[in-house]
Amino acid sequence: MAARNWIFAVAVFLSLSTFSSAQDLQIVNAERRIDLSSHIVKAFLTLKVENIGKDPAADMLLAFPPTQIKNLAMVQALAVTGKKKKKIYLPLDVKPSEQPDAPNDAGYFLVSFATPLGPGEAVTLEVLYILTHSLEPFPVEITQSESQLVYYRDSAVVLSPYRIKQQTTFFKTPSTRVESFTSVEPANRAGKEIKYGAYEDRAPYSYAPVIVHFENNSPFAVVEELVREIEISHWGSLQITENYRLTHGGARHKGVFSRVEYQSRRSISGSSSFNALLAVLPPRVNSVYYRDNIGNISTSHLRTGFKKSELEFEPRYPLFGGWKATFIIGYRVPLEDYLFEAPDGRRYLNFTFGCPLVETIVNKLTLKVVLPEGSKDPSAVLPFAVNQDLQVKYSYLDIVGRTVVVLQKDNVVPTHNVPFQVYYTFKPIYMLAEPLMLVSAFFFVFVTSLAYVHIDLNIVKK
Amino acid sequence: MATLESPPPGTSSSAMRNAFGTVLSALILLLIGVLAFSIRLFSVIKYESVIHEFDPYFNYRVTQFLSKNGIYEFWNWFDDRTWYPLGRVIGGTVYPGLTLTAGTIWWALNAINIPLSVETVCIHCVWAAAEAYSAPSIVLTSQSRDGLHVFDDFRESYAWLSHNTDVDDKVASWWDYGYQTTAMANRTVIVDNNTWNNTHIATVGTAMSSPEKAAWEIFNSLDVKYVLVVFGGLIGYPSDDINKFLWMVRIGGGVFPHIKEADYLRDGNYRIDSEATPTMLNCLMYKLSYYRFVETDGKGYDRVRRTEIGKKNFKLTHFEEVFTSHHWMVRIYKLKPQKNRIRGRAKKLKLKTSSGLDSKAAKKNPWI
């Protein structure tokens, strides 16, 4: 309560300061639906924003509490026009933003409108944001026969720099087992849904912390590190090698692991453990292998299709909380599906970023694109921010080495699986380098043997 | 003397024949080499490109060390991850031919930028050693009506050990699995296939033949954290530790006289069914192999010994099960830590079937 009053006081103070948008915009209606079914928390926020100022507004701010900012994997915004069945969604530009005097270290994202919002006008926005590592297991350790319960902390009212006239928040849990949830009137629960609202006329930066304690046995598959190497070979194929370090990110396993209980009473034993994983691979994939550092792992099943291929695979043992596994998945795809020529003569690779595993968080993703020997001026184009670097790799028959474009990103979720491009220039004459090398090697061997056979090395003539 | 006049070098037909002959013979020799090589790769192609035997894992691990650390480190290497706490002077006791050949080939290929892994090079060099030994394979297969069924329990357990235990944890098992455990699970072992120290092997054998408390004391004195046993009773794998148990008793008894083979024999045979001796039913190897085995089919039928087991329902007091592989072939147990307080009165052990050890049950048991 004291915190809320303090935030309110700060907000009043700030409304007199130089926030350009704070006085001009207000949110008429906010509806937030937070999906807690898997360990990747997805929040869908529908905002009806009205310009109550005298000047047109070009953008607006979305605020997040500091605990959520570091776990935000992605923020997307769409402007909605049209009604009912004829709705048109227009993607908007969303950028992280630093604002001075942010209360309590709140973080911000700036959403730019397609056209500036005139005075008196209103626009409806759909915002999607994804949080990772936001479900905290409690109890922290569980035995094999226990179910996994987690905490989710959020606010019953939407944190915003603007006044919100009316708002409702819905939380969707995966099962009907909810241990407890903070009550902020009016709040009630029906089946798998908890409704907080409707709340009328809240001041900017209102915040009402709530904790929901519920059962979540979905697989908490967290890849601690993924190194993905895409090797371009101009002889016709793309070779992709992925090194995974997988762990179970949920409540830690304590005590005994009993195989007989796991096999006979599967429904209650190890309910939060997971065994099977699914990787979505490109359609025309071949030579798929699944192994780890001690050899091939035979528990896998590949289904190829026209639009995508699916690899269902199992680690060597089921993963319980805190257990780790490492493995390598490799495959080959034809080059013509992914390498193209740009209008300015450069070549570019068009491939999908991210991790092929479904519903998994990748803490640290490193994507290396190995360009053929003799490539110059590499550059990468992505729809979001990544760390870029260049390395050199020496492989078969290399003399100067191959340029490697290294892209690194933290906190990657399946929504990041979007196409990206890597541009480079390549003179076709360099294709002859490798055959010439092999031809000259054989030529040298034959010439040497010829010379050896025909040169007379005797000191005395016979 | 008749001298054979060699035809003048300008003559085209005989010179051509000579040239043809040389090329042809070179080609034939090359093809013979390739064929000889390929024939020996059949097991690699049939199962997998992995080393299958026990002993070659030692050569592979040593070659890995050589390629990573160089020749000087290799000559001076004292391995502290085996024969704990004694260790082994690898530099001084190894036959280096195989290792040095594999290492040189790997180094040469990498120098001209052909990136073959050490493992690949070893399979092509280690085959020679593997051919000389018997054939315990690391991957077992069987034909069933839905096709080929693969039993990869060994590697499943080694992978589990390498990822879910601490690097310095010690694993005790019978010596057959020593090399594989150090190479694949990367954990320190007590005894391995080198079998250079009979007393150390006898210590492990005695521990496996003793009751739980005595076994715990022996393993605890060796800083052991995990005990690994191989059990084939669920799927009918005959080379398991119960079948090897007679050696544990004999070798153990050879050094520690309190282990007497007669205590484990009924009419001259090692039995694990209802006719088994009380000492057998109470020893660690029996308990670790058959712990909760009765819950799989209700009767505890051992497919290798082809009989129901003697003692079916029992609890472990000094060990706890941490991992059993998919087909129960490898079972890993952890030593329970010592209790801080010894209770004043001993609680009576609840045993469903009579073990004949009532006198021992009445004795003070500080672990209950």
Burial class (CB in 10 A: 0-12, 13-18, 19+), B197: middle
Contact B227, B171 (CB under 8 A): yes
Residue B303 has pLDDT above 80, yes or no: yes
Q: Which of A294, A326, A394 sits opposite B113 (nearest CB)?
A: A394
Q: Which three-class secondary structure state does DSSP give residue A321?
A: coil
Task: Give every strand in the sheet of A376-381, ordered side by side.
Answer: A339-341, A347-352, A419-425, A376-381
- What does the block give as tokens for B131? 């051919």
> What ipTM is given for this predicted complex?
0.85
Q: Is residue B85 part of a domain?
A: yes
Give the predicted TM-score (pTM) of the model: 0.83
- Determine which helix (DSSP H) or strand (DSSP E) holds A6, and give its type and residue range: helix A2-15
Lowest-confidence segment of A210-224, A241-255, A257-271, A352-366 by average pLDDT = A257-271
Neighbour count for residue A404 (Cβ, 10 Å): 18
Contact B259, B265 (CB under 8 A): no
Please report residues of A whose CB lies closer than 8 A to that of B323.
Answer: 257, 259, 317
Q: Which of residues 139-198 of B touch A (CB under 8 A)?
A: 139, 150, 152, 155-156, 158-160, 163-164, 184
Q: Is residue B175 part of a domain?
A: yes
Residue B350 has pLDDT above 50, yes or no: no
Q: Is residue B104 part of a domain?
A: yes
CA distance B265 to chain A (A): 30
Average pLDDT over residues A217-226: 96
Say if residue B186 is in the same domain as residue B330: yes
Say if residue B164 is in the same domain as residue B237: yes
Give residue-wise pLDDT tens across range B353-367: 444 444 444 555 556
Give residue-wise pLDDT tens across range B117-144: 777 777 685 555 444 433 446 777 777 7
Q: Which of A264, A294, A296 sits opposite B158 (nearest CB)?
A: A294
Say if residue B206 is in the same domain as residue B326: yes
Lowest-confidence segment of B27-36, B50-59, B86-95 by average pLDDT = B50-59
Q: Is residue B239 part of a domain?
A: yes
Q: Identify which of A253, A249, A303 has the alpha carbon closest to the alpha carbon of residue A278.
A: A303
What confidence tier does A104 reach under pLDDT thresholds 50, 70, 90? confident
Which of B104, B133, B162 corresponds to the end of one domain? B133
Burial class (CB in 10 A: 0-12, 13-18, 19+), A429: exposed
Give residue-wise pLDDT tens across range B222-281: 999 999 999 999 999 999 999 999 999 999 999 999 999 999 999 999 999 999 999 999
Say if residue B269 is in the same domain as residue B170: yes
Q: Identify which of B235, B224, B167, B233 has the alpha carbon closest to the alpha carbon of residue B200.
A: B224
Distance CA A111, CA A90 (A): 12
Mode of pairing for the β-strands spanning A295-296 and A193-202:
unpaired
Across the strands, what pairs with A425? A376
Lowest-confidence segment of A267-271, A441-445, B135-139, B322-326 by average pLDDT = B135-139
Residue A84 has pLDDT above 80, yes or no: no
Residue A20 has pLDDT above 80, yes or no: no
If you count them, how many residues does chain B have?
Answer: 368
Please report residues of B whose CB lies closer than 8 A to that of A316.
Answer: 152, 155-156, 159-160
Which one has a higher pLDDT value, B40 or A409? A409
Say if residue B185 is in the same domain as residue B55: no
Residue B8 has pLDDT above 50, yes or no: yes
Average pLDDT over residues A184-200: 91
Distance CA B151, CA A170 (A): 48
Which one has a higher pLDDT value, A274 or B353? A274
Most B CBs within 10 A among A294, A398, A462, hence the mutation to make, goes to A294
CA A455 to chain centre: 68
Please report residues of A whose CB lies closer than 8 A to that of B160.
Answer: 316-317, 323
Query: For chain B, what is the domain count?
Result: 2
Distance CA A376, CA A424 (A): 6
Say if residue B79 is in the same domain as residue B174: no
Residue A1 has pLDDT above 80, yes or no: no
Nearest-10 crossing angle of helices B198-209, B212-221: 150
pLDDT for residue A15: 46
Residue B104 has pLDDT above 80, yes or no: yes
Task: Give chain A's domains with CATH numbers.
Answer: 25-215 (2.60.40.1730), 221-432 (2.60.40.1730)
Q: Is residue B340 part of a domain?
A: no
Q: Do B50 and A294 touch (CB under 8 A)?
A: yes
Q: Which distant-in-sequence residues (6+ apart) come within 8 Å of A179 by Cβ?
A: A149, A213, A214, A215
What distances in angstroms separate CA A355 from CA A238, A278, A432, B86, one per listed residue?
A: 17, 11, 35, 46
- What does the block give as tokens for B191? 């005894």
Q: Identify which of A162, A172, A165, A245 has the alpha carbon closest to the alpha carbon of residue A200.
A: A165
What's the mean per-residue pLDDT of chain B?
84
B50 touches chain A (CB under 8 A): yes
CA distance A418 to chain B (A): 32
CATH of the domain at B207: 3.40.50.12610
- Domain boundaries, position B46: 37-133
Distance CA B331, CA A180 (A): 40
- What does the block give as tokens for A157? 């009212």
Chain A residue with the nearest C-alpha to that of B112: A397
